[in-house]
Structure 1
Amino acid sequence: MSLKTKIGELLGFKTTPQIISSPDDLAKFFGAEYVTGMGQPVTPLRAMQLTTVFTCVRVLSESMGMLPCRLYKRVGRNKEIADNHRLHDLLYVAPNDYMTAQEFWELLMVCLCLRGNFYAYKVYALGNVVELLPLDPSSVTPKLNDDWTVEYQVNFKNGGLKTLSQDEIWHVRLFTLDGLNGLNPIAYARKCIGLGLDTEEHGTKLFKNGAVTSGVLETAESLTDVAFNRLKNEFTENYAGLANTYKPMILEEGLTWKPTALNLEDSQFLETRQYQATEICGLFRVPPHLAANMEKMTLNNIEHMGMSFVNYSLVPYMTRIESRIKVGLLSEKDRKTHYAKFNAGALLRGDLKTRYESYGKGIQWGWLSPNDCRELEDMNPREGGDIYLTPMNMTTDPEGENDANKAAS
Structure 2
Amino acid sequence: MSIITRIKSAIGMEERAVLGVNGWPVPLSATSVTPATAQGVSAVYACVQAIAETTASLPLILFKRNGDDRERATDHPLYRVLHDMANPEQTALEAREYMQACVLLRGNAFARLVRGWDGQVRELWPLNPDNVQVQRTASGLVYDYTKDGVLTRLLSHEVLHLRHRLGDDGVLGVSPIAAARGVVELAIAENQHGVSTFTNGAKLLGVLKFPGKLKPEQRQAIGASWASQHAGAANAGRTAILEEGVDFQALSMSLEDASWIEARKLSVIEVCRLFRCPPLIVQSMESANYSNSVELARQFVTMTLRRHLIAWEQAIAAKCLTDAGRRTYFAEHSVEGLLRGDSVNRAQFYASAIESGWMKPSYAARLENMPLFDGIDDAAPKTSGTTTAPQPYPSKQQEAMA
What's the TM-score once normalised by structure 1's chain length? Answer: 0.77
2:160 corresponds to 1:163: no
1:93-151 superposed Cα distances (whole Å, 9 cap, x missing partner): 1111122222222112101101111111111112111100110111112222235x221
2:85 corresponding residue in structure 1: 94
2:62/2:74 contact within 8 Å kept: yes
1:189-228 superposed Cα distances (whole Å, 9 cap, x missing partner): 211111111111111112212377133467999x9xxxx9
Residue 365 of structure 2, aligned match among 365, 374, 379 = 374
Residue 307 of structure 1, aligned match among 298, 302, 320 = 298
- Cα distance change of structure 1 residues 169 and 241 upon mapping to structure 2, 3 Å threshold: same
The amino acid across from 1:164 in the alignment is L
Structure 1 counterpart SS, 2:112: strand
Measure how far apart 1:335 and its partner are. Answer: 0.5
Q: In structure 2, what is the Cα distance between the partners aligned to 1:218 and 1:306? A: 57
Measure how far apart 1:336 and its partner are. Answer: 0.3
Task: Calculate percent identity across the aligned residue pairs.
Answer: 31
- Cα distance change of structure 1 residues 259 and 297 upon mapping to structure 2, 3 Å threshold: farther
The amino acid across from 1:101 in the alignment is A
Q: How does 1:283-294 map to 2 (within 5 A)?
A: 283-294=274-285
1:66/1:346 contact within 8 Å kept: no
- Cα distance change of structure 1 residues 389 and 326 upon mapping to structure 2, 3 Å threshold: farther
2:102 corresponds to 1:111: yes
1:143 corresponding residue in structure 2: 135
1:112/1:174 contact within 8 Å kept: yes
The amino acid across from 2:135 in the alignment is K
- Cα distance change of structure 1 residues 260 and 152 upon mapping to structure 2, 3 Å threshold: same
2:40 corresponds to 1:55: no
Q: In structure 2, what is the Cα distance between the partners aligned to 1:209 and 1:348? A: 48
- Cα distance change of structure 1 residues 145 and 251 upon mapping to structure 2, 3 Å threshold: closer
2:203/2:254 contact within 8 Å kept: no
The amino acid across from 2:129 in the alignment is P
Q: How does 1:311-390 map to 2 (within 5 A)?
A: 311-348=302-339, 352=343, 354-386=345-377
1:121 corresponding residue in structure 2: 112
Structure 1 counterpart SS, 2:86: coil
More deviation, 94-103/54-63: 94-103
2:134/2:141 contact within 8 Å kept: yes
2:194 corresponds to 1:203: yes
1:154 corresponding residue in structure 2: 145
- Cα distance change of structure 1 residues 248 and 186 upon mapping to structure 2, 3 Å threshold: closer
Unaligned runs of 5+ in 2: 1-9, 13-26, 387-402
Q: In structure 2, what is the Cα distance between the partners aligned to 1:231 and 1:170? A: 59
2:228 corresponds to 1:249: no
- Cα distance change of structure 1 residues 49 and 281 upon mapping to structure 2, 3 Å threshold: same
1:7-51 superposed Cα distances (whole Å, 9 cap, x missing partner): xxxxx879xxxxxxxxxxxxxxxxxxxxx9625221111111111
1:72/1:340 contact within 8 Å kept: yes
Measure how far apart 1:375 and its partner are. Answer: 2.1
2:32 corresponding residue in structure 1: 41
- Cα distance change of structure 1 residues 263 and 111 upon mapping to structure 2, 3 Å threshold: same
1:42/1:190 contact within 8 Å kept: yes
Structure 1 counterpart SS, 2:123: strand
2:203/2:252 contact within 8 Å kept: no
1:21 corresponding residue in structure 2: none
- Count of aligned pairs between the two proteins: 357
Measure how far apart 1:309 and its partner are. Answer: 0.7
Measure how far apart 1:323 and its partner are. Answer: 0.8
1:68/1:346 contact within 8 Å kept: no
Q: In structure 2, what is the Cα distance between the partners aligned to 1:61 and 1:85? A: 26
Measure how far apart 1:305 and its partner are. Answer: 1.9
Q: In structure 1, what is the Cα distance between the partners aligned to 2:53 and 2:202? A: 42
Measure how far apart 1:353 and its partner are. Answer: 5.1
More deviation, 316-325/384-393: 384-393
Q: In structure 1, what is the Cα distance between the partners aligned to 2:357 and 2:195? A: 60
Structure 2 counterpart SS, 1:367: coil
Residue 162 of structure 2, aligned match among 172, 191, 195 = 172
Q: In structure 2, what is the Cα distance between the partners aligned to 1:172 and 1:388? A: 49
The amino acid across from 1:289 in the alignment is L
The amino acid across from 2:374 in the alignment is E
Instruction: Output the aligned Cα RMSD.
Output: 3.4
- Cα distance change of structure 1 residues 129 and 261 upon mapping to structure 2, 3 Å threshold: same
- Cα distance change of structure 1 residues 205 and 185 upon mapping to structure 2, 3 Å threshold: same
2:62 corresponds to 1:71: yes
1:366/1:388 contact within 8 Å kept: no
Q: How does 1:263-274 map to 2 (within 5 A)?
A: 267-274=258-265
1:259-305 superposed Cα distances (whole Å, 9 cap, x missing partner): 42217996222222222221110000111122222233333333322
- Cα distance change of structure 1 residues 392 and 67 upon mapping to structure 2, 3 Å threshold: same
Measure how far apart 1:352 and its partner are. Answer: 5.0
1:369/1:387 contact within 8 Å kept: no
The amino acid across from 2:356 in the alignment is W
1:111/1:137 contact within 8 Å kept: yes
Q: In structure 1, what is the Cα distance between the partners aligned to 2:164 and 2:326? A: 22
